[in-house]
């Protein structure tokens, strides 16, 4: 039984969000109604460079889609995974190979071997969490929709 | 001057209830620094550009469009309620009854079936019996204390189980964990009306409930100023289990969006807001949300006092020869004592009933006699309230329904306020002296 809490640490999530600028989205769909498209669209809107990784697509969100993480020729800060859980070990190996900062696995993308490969390779692992939700929780406007951000702070921040 | 930063890492901490009732959902306003929650009295919101407007309407970005669907003041109230109940989010409504209708309409279609406790607020009985039937939804009433009755009432077309944490006005305590497990055995959600307990006394989601609704009009607001309601969802129910195509399948009311697949944890609440609230239109006014937030700031303090006073008033009535059948489940000899110890260890709320000698005339004579208790149709005010259900809140119910709801001809319902308790007992004493 995988202990997911170790891959859901709030401070680790914030560090990843605060430092990333380039995000490779594995399994990004061009279908506007798919969850991966919602997330990719949102991240691009919030200033991240979003690189689609999906051999079934040629172009998503105005950017060329790569067949594999290994084909990307720029540094990748986050590998964001929208794939079946059993695809994760291979993706984790590629994430280690390209020196990605973090492997971020969406809701339900849970695979212990994949997590271990990435962690052993020095990649921060976030698992069973949505990148869009966590961005919206700490940096965005999730609270405008009455969602429970679980944040308690009296610090005044800049505009959102 | 230091530049305000959005990029300061916050420590994850499990803050206490009293901290969260003051702070959850609100951060100092980034524009002005206002410490109190600003009242955003606006119908609509200026879009930055056409792309942003499209993203908001497509739900690709959390954006304000129109106050029938969302409002920043209302959102603070929603998040605070979600936080206090331990849910993933909340949607507020113009009343408790509209919140309840919306919670159900989001998951029901014609031909569906609901299993409900029979010991409910009269307004809920009306809504279920008449409104649901108009929507071609079938209903089975069950004795909430009978686990087998809940289990046996479930049918293939059942879509939800429904009960109140503390029944109005009979004071029955729902065995939430047991009924939730029956619901989950059938891949169904349990919906709990937690109005009488408030999240300070009981948090149904911690016991397995999936959806919690409130009339915020009562103890949440706490001062009898505003009508409102709220729906909180746990975020853990699997709406894609095959029983809820209305939530899982592509929605014709939102250009084919599959709410549960796309929004996961937040799918039900997204649909509740973007479709049901949009289409029913029962939006909470920002000013009322502000008053509810003021109420929530003192929720724990008020509930402690409500409970202390309720215990004392119930004990007084139990010893009075004109009063009988005091239904306060916080009394030591209540049949609900084990359930109270489990679900309501801080107290069994402050609303209960008793039977006045002399039947209908006796109950009416007591109400004529009191001068401090307010004779009105509400509960959960800081002021003490008294009413005769058979001639008011439960008037539309048949004798059999009255009996099922635990209401007799001489039944009087009290909502015990936070006054000096000796004054409350003094006033009841002088009223009861008129009852023969």
Nearest to B30 among A9, A149, A156 (CB): A156
In angstroms, the first-to-last Cα distance of chain B is: 75
Q: Which residues of B touch A146 (CB under 8 A)?
A: 70, 74-75, 78-79, 82, 89-92, 269, 273
A29-55 confidence digits (pLDDT tens):
999 999 999 999 999 999 999 999 999
Say what the pLDDT of residue B1 is. Answer: 40
* Number of domains forming the structure of chain A: 1
State the complex-level ipTM.
0.94
Angle of helix A88-97 relative to helix A112-120, nearest 10 degrees, comes to 10
Which chain A residues touch B if contact means CB-CB below 8 Å? 9-11, 14-15, 18, 32-35, 38, 41-42, 45, 107-108, 130, 133, 136, 138-160
* DSSP string computed for B203-257: -GGGGT-SEEEEETTTTTT-SS----EEEEE-S-S-TTSSS-HHHHSPBGGGTTB
Helix then strand count (H, E) for chain B reads 19, 12
Q: What is the DSSP letter of B165?
A: S
Q: What is the DSSP letter of B390?
A: G
Say what the pLDDT of residue A157 is. Answer: 82
Q: Where are the alpha helices (DSSP H) in B228-336?
A: 245-248, 259-263, 267-271, 278-280, 286-297, 299-318
Q: Residue B6: which pLDDT band, with cuts at 50, 70 and 90?
A: low
B242-269 confidence digits (pLDDT tens):
999 999 999 998 989 999 999 999 999 9
Give the separation between CA B267 and CA B273, rounded to whole angstroms. 10
Residue numbers of B between 272 and 301 with CB closer than 8 Å to A? 273
What architecture is domain B45-294? 3-Layer(aba) Sandwich (3.40)
* Assigned domain for A116 exists: yes
Nearest to A152 among B19, B29, B61 (CB): B19
For CA atoms B400, B403, B404, B405, give the dihedral sign: positive
A82-130 confidence digits (pLDDT tens):
999 999 999 999 999 999 999 999 999 999 999 999 999 999 999 999 9
Q: Where in chain B is the domain with CATH 3.40.640.10?
A: 45-294
Joined together, the tokens standing for residue B230 give 């709220």
Give the separation between CA A54 and CA A81, rounded to whole angstroms. 11
Tell if the CB–CB gap between B28 and A156 is shorter than 8 Å: yes
B287-328 confidence digits (pLDDT tens):
999 999 999 999 999 999 999 999 999 999 999 999 999 999
Q: Residue A12: which pLDDT band, with cuts at 50, 70 and 90?
A: very high
Nearest to B75 among A14, A144, A155 (CB): A144
Domain that holds residue A92: 4-145
* Assigned domain for A158 exists: no
Give the separation between CA B402 and CA B396, rounded to whole angstroms. 9
* Assigned domain for A153 exists: no
* Assigned domain for A17 exists: yes
Give the separation between CA B313 and CA B423, rounded to whole angstroms. 10
Whether B217 contacts B230, CB under 8 Å: no
Residues 6+ apart with CB under 8 A from B199: B17, B81, B84, B85, B86, B299
Q: Where in chain B is the domain with CATH 3.90.1150.10?
A: 299-432
Which CATH number covers residue A112?
3.40.50.720
Tell if the CB–CB gap between B9 and A153 is shorter than 8 Å: no
What architecture is domain B299-432? Alpha-Beta Complex (3.90)
């Amino acid at each position: 039984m995988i202990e997911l809490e170790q891959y859901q640490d709030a401070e680790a999530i914030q560090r990843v969000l605060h430092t990333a600028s380039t995000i490779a989205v594995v399994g990004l769909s061009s279908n506007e109604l798919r969850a991966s498209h919602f997330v990719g669209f949102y991240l691009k809107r919030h200033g991240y460079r979003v690189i689609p990784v999906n051999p079934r697509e040629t172009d998503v969100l105005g950017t060329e889609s790569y067949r594999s993480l290994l084909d990307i020729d720029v540094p990748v800060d986050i590998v964001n995974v929208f794939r079946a859980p059993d695809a994760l070990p291979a993706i984790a190996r590629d994430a280690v190979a390209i020196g990605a900062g973090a492997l971020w696995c969406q809701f339900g993308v849970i695979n212990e071997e994949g997590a271990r490969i990435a962690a052993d390779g020095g990649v921060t692992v976030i698992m069973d969490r949505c990148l869009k939700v966590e961005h919206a929780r700490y940096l965005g406007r999730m609270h405008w929709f009455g969602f429970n951000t679980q944040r308690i702070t009296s610090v005044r921040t800049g505009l959102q | 001057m230091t530049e305000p930063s959005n990029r300061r890492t916050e420590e994850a901490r499990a803050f206490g209830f009293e901290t969260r009732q003051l702070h959850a959902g609100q951060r100092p306003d980034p524009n002005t620094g206002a410490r109190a929650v600003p009242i955003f009295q606006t119908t609509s919101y200026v879009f930055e550009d056409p792309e942003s407007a499209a993203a908001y309407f497509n739900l690709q970005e959390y954006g304000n469009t129109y106050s029938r669907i969302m409002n920043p003041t209302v959102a603070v109230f929603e998040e605070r309620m979600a936080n206090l109940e331990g849910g993933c989010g909340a949607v507020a409504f113009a009343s408790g009854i509209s919140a309840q209708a919306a919670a159900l309409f989001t998951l029901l279609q014609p031909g569906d079936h609901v299993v409900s406790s029979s010991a409910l607020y009269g307004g809920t009985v009306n809504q279920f019996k008449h409104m649901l039937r108009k929507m071609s939804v079938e209903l089975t009433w069950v004795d909430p204390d009978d686990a087998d009755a809940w289990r046996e009432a479930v049918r293939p077309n059942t879509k939800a189980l429904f009960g109140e944490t503390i029944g109005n006005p009979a004071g029955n305590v729902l065995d939430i964990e047991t009924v939730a497990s029956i619901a989950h055995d059938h891949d169904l959600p349990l919906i709990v009306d937690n109005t009488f307990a408030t999240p300070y006394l009981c948090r149904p989601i911690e016991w397995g409930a999936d959806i919690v609704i409130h009339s915020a009009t009562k103890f949440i607001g706490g001062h009898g100023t505003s009508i409102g309601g709220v729906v909180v969802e746990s975020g853990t129910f699997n709406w894609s289990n095959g029983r809820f195509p209305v939530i899982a399948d592509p929605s014709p009311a939102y250009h084919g969006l599959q709410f549960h697949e796309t929004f996961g944890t937040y799918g039900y609440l997204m649909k509740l807001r973007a479709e049901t609230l949009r289409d029913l239109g029962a939006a909470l006014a920002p000013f009322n949300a502000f008053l509810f937030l003021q109420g929530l700031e003192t929720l724990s303090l008020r509930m402690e006092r409500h409970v202390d006073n309720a215990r004392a008033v119930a004990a007084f009535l139990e010893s009075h020869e004109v009063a009988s059948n005091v239904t306060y489940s916080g009394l030591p000899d209540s049949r609900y004592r084990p359930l109270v110890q489990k679900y309501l260890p801080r107290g069994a709320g402050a609303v209960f009933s008793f039977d006045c000698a002399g039947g209908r005339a006796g109950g009416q004579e007591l109400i004529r006699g009191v001068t401090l208790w307010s004779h009105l149709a509400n509960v959960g005010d800081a002021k003490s309230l008294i009413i005769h259900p058979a001639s008011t809140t439960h008037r539309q119910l048949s004798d059999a329904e009255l009996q099922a709801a635990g209401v007799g001809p001489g039944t009087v319902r009290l909502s015990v306020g936070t006054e000096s308790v000796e004054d409350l007992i003094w006033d009841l004493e002088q009223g009861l002296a008129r009852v023969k």
